[in-house]
Homo-oligomer: A and B are copies of this chain.
Amino acid sequence: MAPGRRERLTRARVVDAAMTLADDGGLDGLSMRRLAEHLGVVPMALYRHVADKHELLDAMIDRVFAELTDPVDPDWARALRARAQSMRGALTRHPWAIGRMETGTPGPANLAHHNAVMGCLRAGARLPFWDAVHASSLLDSYVYGFALQDRTLAGDIPAEAARRREVVVADGPAALDAYPYLVEVADQLGRHGYDFAQEFEIGLDLVLDAIRGLRPVGETAVEGAGGPASREPGPAGG
């Protein structure tokens, strides 16, 4: 075997392999020992490159943020839409990430993303500071929340609808009458299917419209719009 019969371990290689393992097998399937084996190395070797499992997870999260596209669209709404879509894509590829996106120490890609969103809202949409905060909160909440639901129900929806129906029925003979609206949902979804991507778009449109509604109508331009500058008091006193 030539010089270095095995590729030297790197922090990057460790994080890469960890993401691969998590992508198929979930976070439960990711153990330091399995990760080490996957890399052809003894478990403790990993600790030369990450402080502990927690730090590894933080690094993985920032990798997810790093996958987000950075659109240059001058239309702020289109740019936000692209960011939201790219976030949903990343969270669909890495469902294990959802519960931890805003946990732990934020990495640089995380910071860059949130900075860019605020930039869209402040400089692009010309929103006053606190309106931009509200908009950012609403948008993030929607995207994260949607991904959260998407994640679990992402499988075969007609089958899942049928299964849910079984659950309801198992609850007792009168259950079908107790949950009439759920029965309708199960029936319709079973019949017509359900496209998460399209559902996401519909909600995203509603959210973006709501953000548009924050803009003072007839606003034209000028005034501190080029950069950050607060103009109003906070929403409350903490």
Q: Which residues of A come within 8 Å of B, CB atoms?
A: 98-99, 101-103, 105-106, 108, 111-112, 114-116, 118-119, 122, 129, 133-134, 137-138, 140-146, 148-149, 152-153, 157-158, 164, 167-168, 171, 178-185, 187-189, 191-195, 198-199, 202-203, 206-207, 209-211, 213, 227-230, 233-238
Are B188 and A230 in contact (CB-based, < 8 A)?
yes
- Choose among B167, B181, B202 the residue that contacts A115 (Cβ–Cβ < 8 A): B181
Known A-B contacts A146-B145, A191-B234; the reply to A167 vs B111 at CB < 8 A is yes
**Closest beta carbon of chain B to A110's beta carbon, Å:** 10
Are B228 and A193 in contact (CB-based, < 8 A)?
no
Are A137 and B203 in contact (CB-based, < 8 A)?
yes
A interface majority secondary structure = helix
**Closest beta carbon of chain B to A89's beta carbon, Å:** 16
- Choose among B115, B145, B167, B192 the residue that contacts A141 (Cβ–Cβ < 8 A): B145
Q: Complex Cα distance A143/B137, Å?
A: 11
Chain B minimum-CB-distance residue to A193: B238
- 4 nearest A-B residue pairs (beta carbon): A193-B238, A192-B234, A145-B145, A141-B145
**Closest beta carbon of chain B to A65's beta carbon, Å:** 13
Residues on B with beta carbons closer than 8 Å to the beta carbon of A129: 184, 188
Are A237 and B195 in contact (CB-based, < 8 A)?
yes
Q: Complex Cα distance A146/B148, Å?
A: 11
Are B237 and A193 in contact (CB-based, < 8 A)?
yes
Beyond A137-B146, A184-B230, list 8 extra A-B contacts (CB 8 Å).
A111-B179, A114-B185, A115-B182, A119-B180, A138-B142, A145-B145, A188-B230, A202-B235
Are A118 and B181 in contact (CB-based, < 8 A)?
yes
Residues on B with beta carbons closer than 8 Å to the beta carbon of A158: 238
Chain B minimum-CB-distance residue to A228: B184
**Closest beta carbon of chain B to A152's beta carbon, Å:** 5
Q: Complex Cα distance A176/B233, Å?
A: 23
